[in-house]
């Protein structure tokens, strides 16, 4: 029986492209008008790559630093050097938009009696700001950061954090992530892992296939009840 629904944050609950999209729409954001989708894509890719490399090298730094490093690479790659733009993007990343279905989904999951939590590579300062900005504070029972173990996903130490904090075994946790590599490793760890495949991408060839694949986070209660 499932006791807790645990969610990755970035790309799962929060739209990681929102910072670049909003910066492009602000006064002075003309330089981003045509390039912001590619900038957002490069930024996210490097953010993930740097987290994996640091995990392998046992070279942990807070995710806020990984995020800055990824942005610096992306800005240079796309020929953008405005320091003001850099600060704007970093500030907007603290206030990412939640996907439209997220607030109601979390309310429904809690009403069904499941505990709710975030399990993220994000730093607590970043996660706290995003959760508050999106109005999700009262809809989450816990926000769990890898800061407690100082290694990034997909280390098993991260998934063990969710078991400890939710007082639930792996088979009592439904875990949702938009990252294919995250769900396959969470599934390998023993979670009931669900891939939120918003991009309709192929499944990563690592770990163990997830329990289910869905397009978004609508109507989770029936899915979770079937586990």
Domains and CATH numbers, the chain: 4-14+97-225 (3.40.50.1000), 18-93 (1.10.150.240)
3-state secondary structure of 89: helix
Assess contact for 206 and 213: CB atoms under 8 A: no
**Longest alpha-carbon distance in the chain:** 52
Band (pLDDT 50/70/90 cuts) for residue 91 is: very high
- Which are the catalytic amino acids? 8
How is residue 73 written in tokens? Answer: 């690479």
120-151 residue pLDDT tens: 999 999 999 999 999 999 999 999 999 999 99
Compute the mean pLDDT over every residue in the chain, rounded to the nearest whole number: 96
142 three-class SS = strand
Report yes or no on whether pTM surpasses 0.85.
Answer: yes
pLDDT number for residue 12: 98
User: What pLDDT digit, counting tens, does each position of 161-213 carry?
Assistant: 999 999 999 999 999 999 999 999 999 999 999 999 999 999 999 999 999 99
């Amino acid at each position: 029986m499932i006791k807790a629904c645990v969610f990755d944050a970035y790309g799962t609950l929060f739209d990681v492209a929102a910072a670049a999209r909003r910066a492009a729409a602000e006064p002075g954001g003309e330089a981003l008008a045509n390039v912001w989708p590619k900038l957002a894509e490069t930024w996210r890719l490097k953010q993930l790559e740097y987290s994996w490399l640091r995990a392998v090298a046992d070279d942990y730094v807070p995710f806020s630093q990984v995020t800055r490093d990824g942005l610096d690479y992306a800005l240079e790659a796309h020929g953008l050097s405005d320091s003001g733009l850099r600060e704007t993007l970093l500030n907007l990343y603290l206030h990412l938009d939640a996907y439209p279905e997220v607030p109601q989904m979390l309310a429904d999951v809690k009403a069904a009696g499941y505990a709710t939590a975030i399990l993220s590579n994000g730093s607590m300062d970043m996660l706290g700001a995003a959760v508050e900005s999106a109005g999700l504070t009262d809809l989450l029972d816990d926000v769990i950061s890898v800061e407690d173990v100082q290694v990034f996903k997909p280390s098993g130490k991260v998934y063990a954090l969710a078991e400890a904090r939710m007082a639930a075994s792996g088979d009592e946790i439904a875990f949702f992530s938009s990252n294919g590599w995250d769900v396959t490793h969470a599934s390998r760890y023993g979670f009931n892992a669900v891939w939120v495949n918003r991009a309709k991408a192929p499944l990563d060839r690592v770990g163990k296939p997830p329990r289910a694949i869905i397009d978004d986070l609508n109507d989770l209660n029936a899915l979770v009840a079937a586990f």
